[in-house]
């Protein structure tokens, strides 16, 4: 299955989510391919650290659509693709090929608007697609109402299903990338790990 993690907006956690999902899939014993269609090449750095440290499973990432085409023909492989508007043509080609799109959305009105624009871009340029969204970088303070409001706004958007999970703003993500580890590999019992594991289970219930 091909899953694109995308959003028009920068910094919403696309690479973080794609990396964590890919490590989780590989740990479940699935043949996993990670694609980086963002010119920033975020995965190269984090996967280099992972390789240097010798962490298993070892993952590599590819950045070309030709490799994606050949993998797409193998239904057994799990493909996770990080896309960016910086390469719009590649982003749309990947979405066309994908079985579904997952949108991490930060809890702000600007992010809701940009999610709305992303959805209409997909509808216009690709057509019908299975699309999921969830709130990433939710505020941990219980008095902050933006997360709840953003979820309600996501529920109002057409053509997208909101996943019942929140990834809160947690310091574990910073450490995770610099150490080349998914957050659940740092400490499987902390909150960030539990949230990412919930997200993975919602997206891949067949592997839990
Ligand atoms: N839930 C979270 N809690 C704390 N930090 C987070 C969380 N999600 C992402 N981050 C941090 O936010 C920053 C941006 O995340 P990331 O690079 O994954 O976003 P992106 O959408 O891929 O950005 P870009 O558009 O630049 O590619 C990173 O420093 C990452 O560690
Ligand atoms: Mg990124």
pLDDT tens digits for 131-162?
A: 999 999 999 998 889 999 999 999 999 999 99
Q: How far is the CA of 47 from the centre of ligand 2 (A)?
A: 14
CA-19 nearest atom, ligand 1: 18
DSSP 8-state assignment for residue 38: S
Average pLDDT over residues 154-180: 96
CATH number of 2-207: 3.40.50.300
Atom of ligand 1 nearest to the CA of 12: 21
Cα 9 to middle of ligand 2, angstroms: 10
Ligand 1 atom nearest residue 171's Cα: 4
Confidence of residue 69 (pLDDT cuts 50, 70, 90): confident
Q: Give residue-wise pLDDT tens across range 102-134.
A: 999 999 999 999 999 999 999 999 999 999 999
pLDDT one-digit tens code per residue, 19-65: 999 999 999 999 999 999 988 888 889 999 999 999 999 998 988 88
Domain residue limits, the chain: 2-207
Which tokens sit at 169?
């703003």
What is the position in ligand 1's atom list of the atom closest to the CA of 192?
A: 1
Q: Inform me whether the pLDDT recorded for 18 exceeds 80.
A: yes
Distance CA 87, CA 63 (A): 11
- Cα 81 to chain centroid distance, Å, stands at 8
Helices (H), the chain: 14-27, 42-53, 65-72, 88-97, 109-125, 146-156, 172-179, 183-186, 191-203
User: pLDDT at position 2, please?
Assistant: 95
Q: What pLDDT sits at residue 75? A: 75
What's the pLDDT band for 170 if we cut at 50, 70, 90? very high
Please give the Cα distance from 169 to 18 (Å, whole number).
17
Distance 109 CA to ligand 2 centre (A): 21
Rg of the chain over all Cα atoms, to the nearest angstrom? 16
Check pLDDT > 80 for residue 8. yes
Report which bound ligand comes closest to the CA of 16: 1
Cα(107) to centroid of ligand 1, in Å?
A: 13
Ligand 1 site residues, Cβ closer than 6 angstroms: 10-16, 38, 40, 42, 84, 136-137, 167, 169-170, 173-174, 177
Residue 40: the pLDDT is: 85
């Amino acid at each position: 299955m091909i899953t694109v993690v995308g959003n028009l907006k920068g910094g919403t956690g696309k690479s973080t989510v794609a990396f964590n999902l890919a490590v989780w899939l590989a740990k479940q014993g699935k043949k996993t391919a990670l694609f980086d269609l963002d010119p920033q090449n975020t995965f190269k750095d984090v996967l280099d650290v992972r390789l240097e440290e010798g962490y298993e499973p070892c993952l590599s990432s590819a950045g070309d659509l030709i490799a994606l085409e050949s993998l797409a023909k193998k239904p057994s492989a799990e493909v996770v693709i990080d896309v960016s508007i910086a390469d719009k043509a590649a982003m749309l080609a990947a979405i066309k090929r994908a079985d579904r799109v997952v949108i991490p959305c930060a809890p702000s009105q600007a992010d809701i608007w940009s999610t709305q624009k992303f959805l209409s871009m997909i509808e216009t340029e690709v057509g019908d697609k299975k699309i999921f969204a969830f709130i990433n970088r939710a505020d941990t303070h219980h008095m902050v109402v933006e997360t709840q409001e953003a979820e309600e706004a996501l529920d109002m958007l057409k053509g997208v299903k909101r996943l019942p999970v929140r990834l809160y703003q947690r310091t574990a993500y910073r450490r995770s990338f610099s150490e080349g580890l998914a957050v659940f590999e740092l400490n499987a019992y902390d909150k960030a790990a539990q949230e990412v594991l919930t997200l993975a289970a919602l997206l891949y219930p067949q592997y839990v």
